[in-house]
A = this chain, B = another copy of it.
C-alpha cells in the first residue's frame, strides 16, 4: 500500500470536518429553536453544537489553530445559516420535528467519529484513547448544547444508542488501519458504519439497558 501524502490526509480530514460541522450546526439550530431561546442564543447554541466537540477535542489534544479559527469564514456561514433559518421559520409555519433532526445528526455523528479518532491516531495515542476522542468529538457538541439549554444531556439519559454507535465506529477505524486499508476508505467506512448503526437503532427502536432492573423508562 502506498501511504497517502500529508496533503491528501489533510484535505480528506478537512472535507470530513466541514461536512460534520454543517450537519451539527443544523441539528443544533433546530434544537435551540425548539427551546425558544432568543436569536443570539440560537446562534450561539448552533455554533457550540457545531464547533464544541471539535474544540474540546483540540483543547484535549493541544492542537491549534481551531477549525473555526483556521476557517474563520465558516463563522460567517454559521451566522448566515442562522439568519436564513430565522426568516424561513418565521414566514412558514415550519414544525421542527425530532425526525427532521435525525439524519443530519446521524451523519455528523459518523463524520466527527472518523475525524476525531483519526486525529488522535495521527498523534500516536493508544487505541482506546483514539476511540474515546472520536466519541468526545462527535458527542460532546450535543452534550454542551444540552448543558447550555439546561437539560440532562440526551446522549446520557434517553436510552437510545448514540455514543455507543460512535464507540463501535471508532473501532472500525482502528481495525481498518490495522488491516492496512487506505485512509479514505477507513474514514468513509467509519462514517457509514456509525451513521448506519444510529439510524438502524432509531428505526428499530432499540434501547440501552436501563441501569437498574426496577427502572421504569
Q: Which residues of A contact B (CB under 8 A)?
A: 32-33, 35-42, 44-45, 55, 59-60, 62, 64-66, 68-69, 72, 75-76, 86, 89-90, 93, 125-129, 132, 143, 147-153, 155-159, 162-164, 208-215
Contacts and interface: CB of A to CB of B under 8 A. Distances in A.
Given A41-B157, A152-B148, A153-B148, A36 B212 contact: yes
A65 to B, nearest CB: 8
A44 to B, nearest CB: 6
Given A75-B132, A129-B68, A156-B45, A38 B212 contact: no
Given A40-B156, A148-B152, 17 more contacts: A35-B152, A36-B210, A36-B211, A37-B156, A38-B156, A38-B158, A38-B211, A39-B208, A40-B155, A40-B162, A40-B163, A40-B164, A59-B60, A72-B125, A75-B128, A89-B211, A89-B212
A48 to B, nearest CB: 10
